[in-house]
Amino acid sequence: MRWIEKFLFAGVLLIGALLLAGCQPSSPSVGEDSSGPAETAAETGPSADEQDVLALVEDGVPARVVVAFNASEALNTVAENIAKMLGNVSDTDVRVTKDSEDYDAGAVEILIGDTAYPESAQAAQTLAYGDWCVTAVGNKIVVYAFSEAYYTSAGTHLISLIYAQREESRVVIDGDYHQTGTSNALINAVPRLGDLVPSAVYTTGVDIPSSGAVFPNAGADDFEAYRTSVAAQGYTLYAENEINENRFATYTNDDYSLNMIWTPALNRITVCVDRLSDTALPPRESENTASGNAGCEATVTQLGQWIGYSETDRWDAWINGLAHVIQLEDGSFLIIDGGHDRAINDELLYNTLKKQAPDPDNIVVAAWIFTHAHGDHTGAFLMFDHDEVTVERFIYNFPTASEGSSAGGGQMSSVAAKIDSFYPEAEVINAHPGQVYHIRNAKIEMLWTLDLYYPKSFTFFNESSLVFTLELEGHRILYLGDMGPASNPVISQIYGNALQTDLVQTAHHGFEGASYAFYALVKPKYVFWNTGNVVMDQYGNNYFSRNDDIVKWIAMDTVTVVTLREGEPPDAETFENSAAYLGQES
């Protein structure tokens, strides 16, 4: 969910809490938070008549409410709501103050968020990343959380405590009061990174809920120290990888997988956490198995774009989208996207599999990869219904439904539902940067998911497109999907010359996506141009028009089959149209 939506949702929850507090004055507000699973809370400490208390209102004088001088709109909103409640019970006008004003350790104050006062830092030291707290530290009541979205719950709880004493002349709280709540149980699984505090916590996924924490200003030593700490807390190393000095490591325990990423160009550590009940792990080389057949040549088939073209139709009545079928050495397949939701696209995809499969009555798709869920990429899959086809696994990374919708998203929920209904035995892998998938004689290396873009929000759904490389028979293909213009410079910054590959699939069908500078890093010799007639001198495509020696396989109403052999240049055969490829011409 984008930040502004979370702010609006926070306001609704706070208003609701005020209305409900009179009915339940002695209980904290517990419910469903927008950023994660149902919230839980645990309260500790003796009652006020057994120990010293902190007076939030004394003789009609309320405590100060303090926020950081640069606090966000969300935290200021929480502070103002707490101040209003204090004002209501004390019949005074309570002003929210900034931490740049005079600090008085002896004064009873309510601190909201990461203020400059030491009590805020102390409250944060032991708090789990998915938690919020309302806690007494010295003479301060600290309201703290590791995500802006969680402050709603913490603020609502403190408001409830104050409201419950609205008839009293003195509003107090225990001197060692401490209550925590969990607003994101997934983030709770992320071990603490020493004293480092995440600058942001995010939630993503439609059918596979996934969360992440972003630690800025973190170096290589922090990453290695964190790996040691994670192992000490019961996690086991599953896989590790390094690309252009970027370090990646996946750790697992019985319940969770942690994908840890250090990107020196961004100077940050990102930790992504998934439940193992929701996602499979990438197949390692030691676990790589074939399906039984052997002796097939490795081929990449680019299916045509302009299928069923008619000059009287709108372009979106016949355009196919991105559809690549990759045959592996044992006769099984990888599918990249699949094309548009037109019957003619579904038929071409299915008939291509039947034509190439050693046994057309027993077709095995070793992995179906969705770059993103726009209709010209996942539409054919939604129409795909063929009993002869077994799909072993799906690989993708989708944003949340609300986030995708606000950015012009497409068919995420429909894709997830189709997988659940039609392929219940298939593995589903939630992709993360740095992951490596060994599938038969293919090696896939994931370079980009939104994990490297968050916590920034995006307004163009193409930014959610996967970017990855595929190595096959000594050749390396860079798949860009519909990589967006905002992703392009970040990916360039992170990977630099490591993007260089002989073969590349043009970003966003050759439309806005990759820049000239991006393709100059790739330095391709061969290009899968998965659209029909894009002008060559716009966007980043003038890189290709200025390099005449680059071989371009342009998908119109054509089918191009590229055979990859070790130590040899790619061997391509292009068919005039899909009917010619399938032998259906009269």
Q: How confident is the model at residue 41, as a pLDDT?
A: 53
What element of type H or E holds 172? strand 171-174
Q: Is the pLDDT of residue 246 over 70?
A: yes
Q: Is the pLDDT of residue 26 over 50?
A: no
Of 511 and 144, more confident: 144
Q: Which of 48-62, 128-142, 209-223, 392-406 has the lowest mean pLDDT?
A: 48-62
Q: Fold for 285-582, please state it.
A: Metallo-beta-lactamase; Chain A (3.60.15)
Q: Is the pLDDT of residue 151 over 60?
A: yes
pLDDT confidence of 291, banded at 50, 70, 90?
Answer: low
Q: Which of 36-50, 190-204, 408-422 has the lowest mean pLDDT?
A: 36-50
Q: Which of 93-97, 246-250, 329-333, 535-539 has the lowest mean pLDDT?
A: 535-539
Cα–Cα distance, 75 to 7 (Å, whole number) = 9
Cα–Cα distance, 310 to 319 (Å, whole number) = 11
Does domain 3-186 bear CATH number 3.30.379.10? yes
Q: How confident is the model at residue 318, as a pLDDT?
A: 60
DSSP secondary structure, 5-58, as one string: HHHHHHHHHHHHHHHHHTTSTTS----B-TTSSB-EEEEES--GGGS-EEEEEE
Q: Is the pLDDT of residue 22 over 80?
A: no
Q: How confident is the model at residue 224, as a pLDDT?
A: 96
Q: Is the pLDDT of residue 582 over 50?
A: yes
Tell me the per-residue pLDDT of 526-548, one tens digit each, with 9 for 90 and over: 999 887 555 566 788 889 888 88
Rounded to an integer, the average pLDDT of 106-132 is 92
Tell me if 409 sits within 8 A of 402, measured CB to CB: no
User: Highest mean pLDDT range out of 298-307, 451-460, 475-484?
Assistant: 475-484
Beta strands in 410-540 (DSSP E): 427-430, 436-439, 442-448, 467-472, 475-479, 503-505, 526-529
Of 10 and 123, more confident: 123
Tell me if 136 sits within 8 A of 178, measured CB to CB: yes
User: Highest mean pLDDT range out of 285-299, 430-444, 544-558?
Assistant: 430-444
Q: How confident is the model at residue 547, as a pLDDT?
A: 87
Cα–Cα distance, 314 to 457 (Å, whole number) = 32
Q: How confident is the model at residue 91, as a pLDDT?
A: 93
Tell me if 259 sits within 8 A of 272, measured CB to CB: yes
3-state helix, strand, coil in the chain (%, to 5): 30, 30, 45
Q: How confident is the model at residue 47, as a pLDDT?
A: 43
Q: Is the pLDDT of residue 64 over 70?
A: yes
Q: How confident is the model at residue 554, as a pLDDT?
A: 87
Q: Is the pLDDT of residue 110 over 70?
A: yes
Q: Is the pLDDT of residue 30 over 80?
A: no
User: Highest mean pLDDT range out of 164-168, 406-410, 500-504, 546-550?
Assistant: 500-504
Rounded to an integer, the average pLDDT of 38-67 is 71
Q: Is the pLDDT of residue 556 over 60?
A: yes
Calculate what percentage of the chain has a pLDDT beyond 90: 69
Calculate what percentage of the chain has a pLDDT beyond 70: 87
Cα–Cα distance, 419 to 395 (Å, whole number) = 11
Cα–Cα distance, 34 to 159 (Å, whole number) = 19
Q: How confident is the model at residue 3, as a pLDDT?
A: 40
Q: Which of 132-141, 258-267, 527-536 has the lowest mean pLDDT?
A: 527-536
Q: Where are the alpha helices (DSSP H) in 268-411?
A: 343-356, 375-383, 401-406
DSSP state of 113: S
Computed over every residue of the chain, the mean pLDDT equals 87
Tell me if 168 sits within 8 A of 178, measured CB to CB: no
Rounded to an integer, the average pLDDT of 283-288 is 89
